[in-house]
Structure 1
Amino acid sequence: MTITHDLSAAMTMEAYHEALRELAHEKRFLEKWSSDPTFRQALTDDMEGTLEARGLRLDTEELNAIVAGGTSAVFDRLQTLAYLKMMWTNRFYHEHCQPADAAWQQWRVRQINRQVLDLGPHHAMQNIHSSLAVELNKGCSVGCWFCALSPDKKSVPLDYHSGGRETFHALITALQNELGAAVDSGFLYWGTEPMDNPDYEQYCVDFHTITGTFPPTTTAVAHKHPERIKNLLDLAAKHGSWLTRFSVLTTSLMDRIHATYTPEELALAECLPLNREADYAYGVAGRYRDYLQAHPEAAVEQRAKLRRAPWYESVKDYLNDDTHAHGSIACVTGFLVNTVDRTISLIAPVTADDAHPLGYITFAQVEFTSADDIPATVADVVARGRRLVLADDDICAIPSWVNTQIDDDALVVTGRIGGKARRAHHGNVEAMDALVNTLRQGTCNRADVIRTVATSSSVDAAWVSDAIDGLWKLGVLIEPVRV
């Protein structure tokens, strides 16, 4: 096949979509090839019959190269498209969706610095760090066994026609006023199934009306609602959405989806295989973290999947039974809203542990009672949760999993999975050592740390204060939370 569109970084979204349409059959092939060993064996046994049975119009010579472990020009172009998509999403989330407000920018940078140490630089840099997720339901009807967010199985939607519209408009408007362009990074699900809300599509249109951006969608029930899904795909394409994604839980569901939709109908939809046979490594949080604790032998399967990841070589030396490459699937460094519970929270990703089993930390959470008090509630959440500086009575501590070493120039901080940070000591080696030892105790507040180190090391209190603030900005210190 000849690709008729320029695959350059300057490609428009429209041209990108058209290139995907031209590669619809190749895309479908890869969805099965990457997730289903039975399909791979069938190709070896009877390639032409297998392709015909699935309605795939492909060049068998190119497929023979793939089956033999090689590559082909067309599939290289699919990889190029995937790379371009990554470039665009990085540009959108990390450039266009940056908060204009200096305070939000300061908070966001510190949170990402902390995640570099906690979750590793690869995880932190690949994360979209959306500023907003809005749940339009309470709970999720799907109940994936590996779900990192562990929602209740019963799902209750926000009724668009019984106050939901007013609540949603007030919410997105208030958050747009607070976040500026960063609100464009929002999406309308979290621990929820979007299709559980019968008005989901209308909320997406309203989000687009207010912000100018049509939010991405991830659904695990594409096999249940074909006409509704087709309409959603058309709606998303019409409004320029960059992503509609299907979470596909089993090989039989992938077969069902492929039988329900033509390759052309799903050209713009990403089918993400989450079946056990696929290479996807689950996030070690929520239900899957509980599963691993009950079935430690499953970690062998998880590690085997990670070894096939293109970035595995850069992280393999850091992984063990307690440190996972996917310690969180949380992708919001900002607001999480549940419109049914009427809660607005400020959150950010962390490695899942007993204190944060779902892989994110909640800095503040406040309930609103009506659409009218949403702006005040947003302001209250910000006031409570968006820490920019440490107060004198805040406990200052270094996490137990952080390693420290003082070299000739700086304190070198090493976190999980290769995360590192440096803080210059300007020749005050003794004072820096005393500061680290005091912070290791984890019992002193900021004022006490300053007084203790300044007294024991004969340095100015201003130097200690500045060093504490520097480590805080680097994300080294445990953040005091007062929800």
Structure 2
Amino acid sequence: MERLAGDMDFRKALSENVEAPRAVTERFGIEVDPMEMLPLWRGSHLKYRFKPESAPWPLAMMWDEYMREMLRHRDLLRDQGGMSMINPRFHAWRERQIRRCNDELGRSAPAVTHPIIAFELSEGCSVGCSFCGLSADRFKGYYEYSKDHTELWRGVVGAASEMFGSAARTGFCYWATDPMDNPDYDRFLFDYYQITGALPQTTTAAPLKDEALTRRVLELFDMHGTTTNRFSVLSTRHLNEIHRAFSPEELMGVELILQGKEAPIAKALTGRARERKEKLRVANKDDAVALLERDHTTIACVSGFLVNMRQGRLQLVTPVPGSDRWPLGYRILGQHSFRTPGEFRKGVQIMINQYMLDSPAADLPICFRRDLQYQAGDRYFHLRSRNREHRVLDDVAPISVGDLIARGNCTASELVMQVATDGMSVLAIADLLDQLYAAGLIEEDLDDTSPDKLATG
């Protein structure tokens, strides 16, 4: 399946030898009998051609079950980030971001599991992928596993575990970095496992940079792992090298993400891919632009805290579609610096108090999300996004609450004052506003501060 998705020569050879595919698979070092599982390439999608005489096609059935299990596990990871008991404000905020993302991220939404924390153990990235959705800077160094660094690292992870409980198990240790740029990466992983009880998932585009380190990470997965690791495969040559270095059995706990030019995977329109689109548009290369303009809006996944250990920087982030305002596909709500576990804990709590509100801020303009299309009705209104439509009853006051929100020229408290007639209607209007807010339909990105000018506490 990896060959089929990532190697054009393999696909071409199969298409030319449909009646005798075994000769092709043997030439590419594949021992599986292709007649047990005969996928066909049609356009850009994989489909199976089942033949009654070939029943029961055990390998095809196993592959389908493997993929279904991957999807079930993805949903479990999303659920594991729940914190309704240990941190209800964070939990409610994250649930709101999940609902918003399901509405506005397009086909990216189902793959986003919304981990609550991610750590960078380096600064920048040495790989330099041309399509990097996070526009990672050049590699500037890694966070060494020294005595002082280890104390801070374990203290920060411990604080996160205490504040977020089992949800901290959704954390991972990369972002706009490659894990294999840090030669001590496996030691940091094991610390994380000892403190939280979960081994973070690994994604790397450089599994062959330090093969011994990669094998140590895979050994940790064999002993303690629950989440499949991932290798980003940058070309057919890269795929060949990975297949030579690791056996199929060694890669059972690894998903190969085929990112090369021959693979059909669409790149999210963020970061460098977004920059490339603009260059192609200027050059009037409309066909190439069309390949990028698919409904894949971001590679960001965290709804929570992004921590760079080398810089001592803490940010609160959540996925959004790539845009001029948020070109990397995630919104930064605020950030703080830290030098001790205590400062880390304080920064987290400040941002929870400041940004994770239970209701719309009473003194800020209240309006629907910018991507929503508003349509008034008789005692109800419609809100349409790229993915779905919401029909909302609007019968709690003699004046349309929906119309006032759509105009966006009053605060939540001013809106209540305009339409409320008595104490009961005040409660009913406030309840409607809270429901719209909890559903992620109210715009929260009201700060016009440029992302690169966010204050650091």
If the TM-score is normalised by the length of the shorter chain, which range does it land in?
0.7 to 0.9
CA contact (8 A) 2:207 2:214 kept: yes
Shift in Å, 1:303: 6.1
* TM alignment of 1:9-20, pairs within 5 A: none
Local SS of the residue matching 1:173:
helix
Structure 1 position 440 matched with structure 2 position 406: yes
Q: Which amino acid aligns with 2:144?
A: D
Corresponding residue for 1:423? 392
Corresponding residue for 1:106? 92
Structure 1 position 39 matched with structure 2 position 28: no
Corresponding residue for 1:167? 152
Do the aligned partners of residues 93 and 470 (structure 1) sit closer, same or farther apart at CA in structure 2, a change above 3 Å counting? closer
Structure 2 CA distance for aligned equivalents of residues 223 and 84 of structure 1: 28
Corresponding residue for 2:54? none
Corresponding residue for 2:303? 333
Structure 1 position 344 matched with structure 2 position 323: no
Structure 1 position 70 matched with structure 2 position 49: yes
Corresponding residue for 1:378? 348
Structure 1 position 398 matched with structure 2 position 368: yes
Provide, for residues 23-44 of structure 1, a one-character-per-residue CA deviation record: whole Å limited to 9, x for no partner: xxxxxxx101112121122333
* TM alignment of 1:13-412, pairs within 5 A: 30-43=1-14, 44-45=16-17, 47-62=21-36, 66=40, 70-71=49-50, 72-94=57-79, 96-99=80-83, 100=85, 101-120=87-106, 123-296=108-281, 300=287, 324-408=294-378, 410-412=380-382
Provide the aligned C-alpha RMSD in A. Answer: 2.8
Q: Which amino acid aligns with 1:98?
A: G
Local SS of the residue matching 2:189:
helix
Provide, for residues 248-295 of structure 1, a one-character-per-residue CA deviation record: whole Å limited to 9, x for no partner: 011111111112222222222211100122121111111111211222
Structure 1 CA distance for aligned equivalents of residues 259 and 357 of structure 2: 37
Structure 1 CA distance for aligned equivalents of residues 214 and 289 of structure 2: 31
Structure 2 CA distance for aligned equivalents of residues 371 and 65 of structure 1: 52
Q: Which amino acid aligns with 1:70?
A: R
Shift in Å, 1:204: 0.6
Local SS of the residue matching 1:263:
coil
CA contact (8 A) 1:173 1:210 kept: yes
Corresponding residue for 1:449? 415
Q: Which amino acid aligns with 1:124?
A: A
CA contact (8 A) 1:148 1:287 kept: yes
Do the aligned partners of residues 298 and 183 (structure 1) sit closer, same or farther apart at CA in structure 2, a change above 3 Å counting? farther
Do the aligned partners of residues 372 and 65 (structure 1) sit closer, same or farther apart at CA in structure 2, a change above 3 Å counting? closer
Structure 1 CA distance for aligned equivalents of residues 77 and 140 of structure 2: 32
Do the aligned partners of residues 51 and 125 (structure 1) sit closer, same or farther apart at CA in structure 2, a change above 3 Å counting? closer
Provide, for residues 95-142 of structure 1, a one-character-per-residue CA deviation record: whole Å limited to 9, x for no partner: x3311332222212211222233224x543442111111111111111
CA contact (8 A) 2:367 2:408 kept: yes
Local SS of the residue matching 1:245:
strand
How many residues get paired? 430
Corresponding residue for 1:11? none
Local SS of the residue matching 2:307:
strand
Unaligned runs of 5+ in 2: 43-47, 51-56
Structure 1 position 414 matched with structure 2 position 384: yes
Shift in Å, 1:358: 0.9
Local SS of the residue matching 1:355:
coil
Unaligned runs of 5+ in 1: 1-29, 306-320
Provide, for residues 59-83 of structure 1, a one-character-per-residue CA deviation record: whole Å limited to 9, x for no partner: 1433667579624431231121111
Could you say which structure has the higher helix fraction?
1
Shift in Å, 1:162: 4.8
Structure 1 CA distance for aligned equivalents of residues 440 and 305 of structure 2: 19
CA contact (8 A) 2:338 2:347 kept: yes
Q: TM-score, normalised by structure 1?
A: 0.81
Q: Which amino acid aligns with 1:395?
A: P
CA contact (8 A) 1:398 1:440 kept: yes
Structure 2 CA distance for aligned equivalents of residues 372 and 427 of structure 1: 46
Do the aligned partners of residues 304 and 265 (structure 1) sit closer, same or farther apart at CA in structure 2, a change above 3 Å counting? same
Local SS of the residue matching 1:373:
helix
Do the aligned partners of residues 348 and 192 (structure 1) sit closer, same or farther apart at CA in structure 2, a change above 3 Å counting? same
Corresponding residue for 1:317? none
CA contact (8 A) 1:421 1:474 kept: no
Provide, for residues 424-460 of structure 1, a one-character-per-residue CA deviation record: whole Å limited to 9, x for no partner: 22364x622xx334333434322333334459x9x94
Provide, for residues 179-222 of structure 1, a one-character-per-residue CA deviation record: whole Å limited to 9, x for no partner: 11110111111111000111110011000000110010001011
Do the aligned partners of residues 67 and 137 (structure 1) sit closer, same or farther apart at CA in structure 2, a change above 3 Å counting? closer
Local SS of the residue matching 2:263:
coil
Structure 1 CA distance for aligned equivalents of residues 308 and 173 of structure 2: 10
CA contact (8 A) 1:155 1:196 kept: no
Local SS of the residue matching 2:230:
strand
Shift in Å, 1:382: 1.7
Q: Which amino acid aligns with 2:93?
A: W
Q: Which amino acid aligns with 1:467?
A: L
Q: TM-score, normalised by structure 2?
A: 0.86
Shift in Å, 1:407: 4.0
Structure 2 CA distance for aligned equivalents of residues 213 and 369 of structure 1: 25
Structure 2 CA distance for aligned equivalents of residues 160 and 171 of structure 1: 14
Do the aligned partners of residues 396 and 463 (structure 1) sit closer, same or farther apart at CA in structure 2, a change above 3 Å counting? same
